[in-house]
Structure 1
């Protein structure tokens, strides 16, 4: 049984100080088809990212670090409904704006299905932010060291090792061989349960020049001597990850090498893996880890030879990663509430009944402001617009509801997520799905953890024919609703 852990990184990144991105040989078709849908790297405004993260809401934090690495990672959603991870650095982390932009643009040219790719950055005033693909299924550290339902299977551990080696090989082929502080928190899992290498480790913190924040016991020996990271140092860190995969624990390399020299492999192997692999397979992985952990950097293998060594070890290659990981996949993999089911089957009548039944109980704090300002003529007119909208909504006169709620919203004195939700559904009833989507997004900006806003986004996306994005929004709504029910 695993222990429960605190919030862990759901995304990460990568960089090299010297040299431009080099042209690489043409990438095979499989890779190209998997990354074609990604947008090119771009720069965002702080306001765009503020909206995407609901004002950098605490509820959207997926990881945060202390004084040694003062930055926070938020999950967010762009206007096109793409989910993102936003890493917001401490003001002093990147004092040189030009260096930050050059590094980010360079890393942003990488595109590979083994990376959590960098999509953009923001550099306004003292703000330094990176935007990457959002990976929803936690980190390797979570699944190896803090698992709750099942330990990671041997076949999946071998797959993680191979995919990670392929990510490093790709980065090397593009002239980005340096990865800073490679560890189990830098490996994240996508919607399909496939492991990806976070792109955050490619970006070196320019403030203190440090490449490692982990315990010195896990730091490459040459880094301790020179203070510089090399491509061979990355291979050493890969060796420590192989030890993590083999043992299910974060064992210092020196201790692991002592066990290997004493031929005490059983002490090194995770007891949860008993019966899942042969002695030959275990011995081969130990041999590979030992080669990566050689004291002399020149004696370590390169990423290309790591890939070649790991391919023959793969097992259960036809089984999807989410199955091996025991991760729910797709909207059918989790139970839905009546509202969630109504959303999936696009039952607008049922959704209307539910919204009407719950009233305005989700508008926390709204009533106080309204009652305080009721004495003004303008507020009285605004309240009348809302009341007329509510009557029209109740009687299913959705055109009138849109008009009245618009009058209430345009005054701007009072912000109500429920009014946006009601107007969103009214737009759907009037066959205006894009307007409905915009209102549902606005409702979630006001109330980031409100499940109804996610469900309305899903219904709007279904109406727009954007099936995959709609299924993701349904899943998000279900998760938020489950959390809400658990705490109420």
Structure 2
């Protein structure tokens, strides 16, 4: 794409969004607000506007531009261009009329639009997008914020991974690095949330949480449910061990294949295992999801966040004090040439990404 086609003027984007009018607002995240726009030639676009209150927004902006401009895949949201004028920083994406997955999945009526086949296609689409980021693109990328809010749906309900503001390039010769923590409560792997240990297995853990949410049609933490069901991972693990895993399946989903449902739940639990080394890589995940002839290993216990915001392993009866330790840490250490910044804040608890960025 030529530069003049990639760079949008602020005036053009203001006109397309009716000066960023609230009626065109599609959503709000840690980066800022997203607006629907219509260009003069009638094309629909989505404009992400950097919040002026975001102290680290410029880093996120440059991170997203550099990364997304260099990756293209059918299951990644396509970046059409950007705008940087004065203090304004904006990203322009293709527009998706069905918005993000959470707006349909968690809605009591819209959720019925997602029959079992559509849910399986969404799961596979997310997996293929992550496989591309982890293994098949020229850059090795860890997204760090995989969640239902960041999965967009096109007019055919195909999944598109979006929001690369927290994405991080990963060295080809390293299995993991230590870095500052950024992400969303409920989707963060324990080794990353508590020790800043980052690897592709962090995305795989988040993917596992999303898989269980898609199957169940509920959020990973729901305090309105009975106490024993409030934490999705804990509930799914108990049902699986009791042989009642199908009770997890969303009642709104029609034409459910029990065999496929059991396989998807099994794979989801393999992805959220507390031991990161046991989680499968995305290429194996796709094989397990796509073929009933692939034998699945027994998952070990998952790790999840309790209501007290401590990480818990289901094999233990008491909560760890991981988040308390995480908040107390003030020193830095260097691993694999990457500096670990101080852990001063816990992950977001309201589905908005918390960012603690570093230069790569």
Structure 2 residue 85 is the aligned partner of structure 1 residue 121? no
Query: Greater CA deviation, 240-249 or 141-150?
Result: 141-150
Q: 2:147 aligns with which of 163, 177, 183?
A: 183
Structure 2 residue 216 is the aligned partner of structure 1 residue 271? no
The aligned residue for residue 153 of structure 1 is 115
Quick one: structure 1 residues 146 and 97, their matched pair in 2 at CA, closer, same or farther if it must change by over 3 Å? Answer: closer
8 Å CA contact 1:89–1:127 kept in 2: the answer is: yes
Structure 2 unmatched ranges of 5 or more = 169-178, 221-231, 293-360
The aligned residue for residue 96 of structure 2 is 135
Structure 2 residue 183 is the aligned partner of structure 1 residue 212? yes
Query: 1:158 and 1:274 mapped to 2: Cα distance?
Result: 12
* Equivalent pairs, count: 267
Q: Which whole-Å deviations, capped at 9, do the CAs of 1:435-477 have from their partners, x for residues lacking one?
A: xxxxxxxxxxxxxxxxxxxxxxxxxxxxxxxxxxxxxxxxxxx
Query: 1:103 and 1:184 mapped to 2: Cα distance?
Result: 19
SS for the counterpart of 1:62 is strand
SS for the counterpart of 2:257 is coil
Q: 1:288 aligns with which of 264, 267, 287?
A: 267
SS for the counterpart of 1:291 is helix
Q: CA deviation at 1:264?
A: 2.6
**Larger relative contact order (Cα-Cα within 8 Å, sequence gap ≥ 6):** 2
The aligned residue for residue 23 of structure 2 is 59
Quick one: structure 1 residues 55 and 299, their matched pair in 2 at CA, closer, same or farther if it must change by over 3 Å? Answer: same
SS for the counterpart of 1:130 is strand
Q: CA deviation at 1:96?
A: 7.5
8 Å CA contact 1:74–1:86 kept in 2: the answer is: yes
Structure 2 residue 196 is the aligned partner of structure 1 residue 235? no
TM-score, length of structure 2 as denominator length: 0.67
Q: 2:158 aligns with which of 169, 194, 209?
A: 194
Q: Which whole-Å deviations, capped at 9, do the CAs of 1:384-419 have from their partners, x for residues lacking one?
A: xxxxxxxxxxxxxxxxxxxxxxxxxxxxxxxxxxxx
Q: 1:170 aligns with which of 112, 118, 132?
A: 132
Query: 2:197 and 2:88 mapped to 1: Cα distance?
Result: 27
Quick one: structure 1 residues 224 and 101, their matched pair in 2 at CA, closer, same or farther if it must change by over 3 Å? Answer: closer
The aligned residue for residue 256 of structure 1 is 236
The aligned residue for residue 23 of structure 1 is none
The aligned residue for residue 216 of structure 2 is 247
- Pairs within 5 Å for 1:23-38: none
The aligned residue for residue 354 of structure 2 is none
TM-score, length of structure 1 as denominator length: 0.50
Q: CA deviation at 1:63?
A: 0.8
Q: CA deviation at 1:62?
A: 0.8
More strand by share: 2
Q: Which whole-Å deviations, capped at 9, do the CAs of 1:76-109 have from their partners, x for residues lacking one?
A: 1233332211111212436575774354133212
Query: 1:247 and 1:82 mapped to 2: Cα distance?
Result: 36
The aligned residue for residue 358 of structure 2 is none
Quick one: structure 1 residues 73 and 96, their matched pair in 2 at CA, closer, same or farther if it must change by over 3 Å? Answer: closer
SS for the counterpart of 1:212 is coil
- Pairs within 5 Å for 1:333-372: none
Query: Greater CA deviation, 150-159 or 97-106?
Result: 97-106
Query: 2:105 and 2:242 mapped to 1: Cα distance?
Result: 25
8 Å CA contact 1:53–1:74 kept in 2: the answer is: yes
The aligned residue for residue 374 of structure 1 is none
The aligned residue for residue 104 of structure 1 is 65
Q: CA deviation at 1:262?
A: 2.7
Quick one: structure 1 residues 193 and 274, their matched pair in 2 at CA, closer, same or farther if it must change by over 3 Å? Answer: closer
Structure 1 unmatched ranges of 5 or more = 1-37, 314-488
Q: CA deviation at 1:169?
A: 1.2
The aligned residue for residue 203 of structure 1 is 165
Query: 2:150 and 2:60 mapped to 1: Cα distance?
Result: 23
Q: Which whole-Å deviations, capped at 9, do the CAs of 1:187-220 have from their partners, x for residues lacking one?
A: 121123322222x1x22299x965213x3x4421
The aligned residue for residue 301 of structure 1 is 280
SS for the counterpart of 1:308 is helix
Quick one: structure 1 residues 39 and 176, their matched pair in 2 at CA, closer, same or farther if it must change by over 3 Å? Answer: farther
Q: Which whole-Å deviations, capped at 9, do the CAs of 1:245-273 have from their partners, x for residues lacking one?
A: 22111233233223222323133222334
8 Å CA contact 1:94–1:100 kept in 2: the answer is: no
